[in-house]
Homo-oligomer: A and B are copies of this chain.
Amino acid sequence: MEKYAIIVAGGSGSRMGSEIPKQFLVLDNYPILMHTILAFLSYNKNIKIILVLPGSSFQEWNVLCSKYHFEFTGTLVAGGNSRFQSVKNGLSTIKNDQSLVAIHDGVRPLVTSEIIHTSFELAEQKGSAIAATQPKESIRIEYGNGSKSMDRSKIRMIQTPQTFRTYLIKEAFEAFEDSSEFTDDASVAEKYGVEIHLFEGNYSNIKITTPEDMIFARAILSEKK
């Protein structure tokens, strides 16, 4: 089956204490987003990449591609006002519904070929495949002024890729308007009635959100060399 990857990169640098959008921060010689795209191409050089960026970032992206001699041959799509709308815009460019699509955060550059492979395999069999890890910490739930301990063995921390049979996830995104209940693509699919299949992600596959994450990512990349 034909394989697509929608890389969603709409974030700002606010939690990073940076003016530069997170996806454009340079990690080990080139911007995070290029690492992420290369991770998918290194899994399969024929995968069709759909990069969703704010329209206002297109020029910056093109400048970065020149600067880093990065030949981007995928489809560039303008994002919307929310992650939901951005993913929807990305999905709308896929004409072949009998395909598979991995939706992935632009700022998860450490995703491995193994994880991407597993996600496509499982999605082909089951319709959906969501990378997830078990928390290493005890968990509490806040309520009112207090909090209550909770059995962490039941909790899963959700990562990306979130991979689907394309027609299922397209239908799901077409069925709804954006809502705060949609924290990720799996939650949209779930509301549409798609069964959500989790698989074991990787603790290194972090979403770069805070300055510590940059330190971690740099260390993992230098370890890989």
Contact = CB atoms under 8 A, between A and B. Distances in A.
Contact of A190 (B149, B155, B213): B149
Contacts of A130: 140
B216 A223 contact: no
A209 interface: yes
In the complex, the count of this chain's copies comes to: 2
Contacts of A158: 137-140, 149
Interface string A138-175: 11111100111100101111110000000000000000
A135 interface: yes
* Chain A residues touching B, range: 35 or more
A158 B135 CA distance: 10
B219 A215 contact: yes
Interface stretch (A5-13, A23-31, A68-76, A181-189): A181-189
A212 B203 contact: yes
A189 to B, nearest CB: 10
